[in-house]
Structure 1
């Protein structure tokens, strides 16, 4: 049984509440530059270990790419299972031109806090997805965002940025925010690429191409020279299909990187931040329809443009939340003044929700997940209160009383 299903397709520049009102319509004429999001929650009714759990799927389209986060939530805790996890409990996938970044577990974060002897459970899979949606939509770029809360109360934030006219890559910004009054002692991220799912046939070799080398991806981690190998191509040598992935690393935000493959053939890029509390910035992409020597030559020949995209990724600062517009406020006040029955039913909740929204807006001027999530929940409460009042106005046909 599906208990919620919401599909949002943005036609304006910026979503309500995330910045100034839109000045122009979003141009949807380019099929490779789109913006939309969908969210579903379905109670699992089939027999099995997860019967009664809620299957939650959040999908965001940004430019030519899409982010899909899947979680199966325990009805008793509201969180993903922490122990005895099974296949299907959680996915983080990035869809694109070839699906090379659509491995079920495309992102991993090893987080260790002071006083702990082991890493926290992996936030993208054992943590709870608190937000997944569009933060900015305009005719120049689209920014999507996902926020996970880990089991200690910290937050992992991922931002994805697509630029109009750039169809084969996107910016990717990762940042971890520790729980209050806890110190972060170590942090690494790992990105996983599976070029066209050839992950078991050893004849078709997983291949790494950089400006310095062209070789099979080793089983043991191989260090990347960030000065000369900051851009790389992942592909499948001798593959019947012609596609693969690309990855460019920002040496200003990344201190060290290694590349390796698992015994199943999944390529992993392990990234160590220069500042564990700061951002890690990369530009990811994929390609299809070209043999890998041609694709690699084309990509490595475009490194000045890729470098510019890395610089633009460092500028991914989204608009801070804003209060409801004056017109919205006046419309609510008008309905309450005209219809006393609406005030009796909804006035107290509207006043309380508005006060909470005002308080959260003041805190949300700091760009942190905790403050944004507080505002987001308050804004959702405010919108629901206004929506309930409008629904009653329609259902009770109060508009007939207007002169």
Structure 2
């Protein structure tokens, strides 16, 4: 059976998340790839045995390379040359900044200037989609080892066949929808959508019957386990979620999109790593950079696609983030009005809110 590009990509993401190595290749080379976060010592030893202890490289983002003071020669990714055998502890310390103080003398690192960077860049994209630390090991393998690994059910793919975005359909057919009465309001429907590439599910909570001809009051809300569920005071997410729900209940109409893009798209585990870094003095943006991520890794194109699937193209957007307006506008949604969504400041989120305003351009 022939697999589609999206299905192949999904399989590779799942394998990396499970801790399995994968094979990526192009016309020049075949490379065995493993995500450093899900590696452990026995697995690394087995990979070394299978590949006859071939030398390998480490792929990291340029953000992480700057932290490690490694030279950057490519706009997309940095490849660190590993000349001697390293243990799993050092590999994980290279990938995970929450361990920087445990391994302060990791360098110096030697970056590859020449060669093909495409496979390294794809490996980082796959790690990010898997919500793992964006760091992988790369081992160039000959045909004989590749055939042996493929016969052992290791997934392989030509990087040209991978697809991280599908312009035609980012979702499988709508999974399910049903009426869902909540406290204080009865006329609510919940619709579940699922991405093709990594099978992440997102939710559209629709209050009343928003008219297609009128701008619908809309909130694009990214999941925040710590704020929405636990009531964390480190952010303003939980309060923004509650205020949005209350306003839509009061008006009797509205659409709240709940996107499972925790921690601005880096996942809960990486968000906790970022919190650890914040606790020792880094702000929310710098913490993301030390992890190897950009300021914001969310894909807001998903929100536009969900709105269009609901028949909505004109909205009043509840947000303090001008970039959300820009993203939605660029993807075919007309934002007729920005509705401010101001949360209260407390000693625990004061610096966080100041950073959002200063570095991320939020209007507070």
Determine if the TM-score, normalized by the shorter chain, exceeds 0.5. no
The structure carrying a bigger helix percent of its residues is 2
Structure ranking higher in strand proportion: 1
Larger Rg computed on CA atoms: 1
TM-score range, shorter chain: under 0.3
TM-score, normalised by the number of residues in structure 1:
0.24
